[in-house]
Amino acid sequence: MRSSPRPTRGALESHRSRGTRHSSPGTHRRRRVWSHGPDRHRHRRPGPGYHRDPRPGRLPERPLGGLVQALASCGVEMRTNKGGLPAEVAGRGHIAGGEVTVDCTESSQFATAIMLIAPLFDDSVRLLLTGLTGSSGYLEVSRQVMVSFGAQVEPIEGGFEIRPSGYRGASFTVEPDASAAVYPLVAAAITAGRAEIEGLHIDSSQPDLRLADALEEMGCQVTAGEEAMVLTGPERLNPIDTNMAEAPDAALALAVACLFANGESRIGGLASLRHKESDRLRPLVETFTELGARARVEGDTLVVTPGRLRSAVIDSHGDHRVAMSLALVGLRVPGVAIARPEVVAKTWPGYWSVLERMVSGG
């Protein structure tokens, strides 16, 4: 089967958002954002009152201690369920600021959370990061967006200095999401097809574009200009030995590409995948084995040995990226099905329609 994924064309949309001040004193608020990791962190700038975050699913199992400790050092009172969700925050309408140390060993999202709300603190924040072995690119993307909206954020040794500048309205062009682009790129790579992603340019700072470099190492032809990125897949992919610590989410789709390489591949830097919407390494190993390949985890490295692949019903484990990545196997292997496919609605509701167009070449 050959697939030539084509870009979805459409008019540039414009949206206007109106800022609001925090709630009135004494209010009690409850917010549900289900299993979306970043949202649970962004809403931590509490206004006066009492705020509760009740969560079902995988989120209560995901570690929250690094964020709790960081907020506590700013004087924020926060109670959790044994270091996880549900969480309760006592809002006082202001946060002092000062020096804040965030342990990023398990997730850089804790640092992102503090960065996003720090311009609203009473004083400057000196944000120091420890245990940051990867994902620093995501922090830089956050910094660039914050600066575009008037925040004063400066890189310093070991972290960032953030002044209490607040935010101001601005016009901002959002480039295509590289985290979504990885799927059509891998689709083209494994089918000797062609994918063109309009709007992704060569100087993009999105970390997940590391995937394009990895696919190029595997034999794909990649060209990136000012207006689009184009990838053409080879007849057969080469195996790869690479580190994806800076783009761990994209590593799932890369692992699927490794199923169709002509030898054993190794993808390192994946420790953080154990703390996502699912333990993402476990379903990869289980599913690859079920499909007829061999896979194992050595420390933070996934080792994939291709085999004669067969059909299977694949459990999405309630994880949108697991579902979207493993579904790509079906472009080459008949009879592959995804259980609980609706989970993709979290980030790409139209994913299955796009995948169908890849298969039909339309």
Active site residues per annotation: 249
How many angstroms separate the CA atoms of 272 and 280, rounded? 9
Residue 289 near residue 302, CB atoms below 8 Å: no
Contact of 331 with 187, CB cutoff 8 Å = yes
288 CB-near residues (< 8 Å, 6+ apart): 255, 259, 294, 295, 304
Cβ atoms of 326 and 317 within 8 Å: the answer is no
Ordered DSSP codes for 122-189: SS-EEEEEES--S-HHHHHHHHHHHHHTT--EEEETTEEEE-S--------PPPP-HHHHHHHHHHHH
Whole-number Cα distances in Å, 261 to 190, 303, 306 = 9, 12, 7
Degrees (nearest 5) of the Cα angle 29, 35, 40?
A: 45
Structure tokens at 331: 């472009």
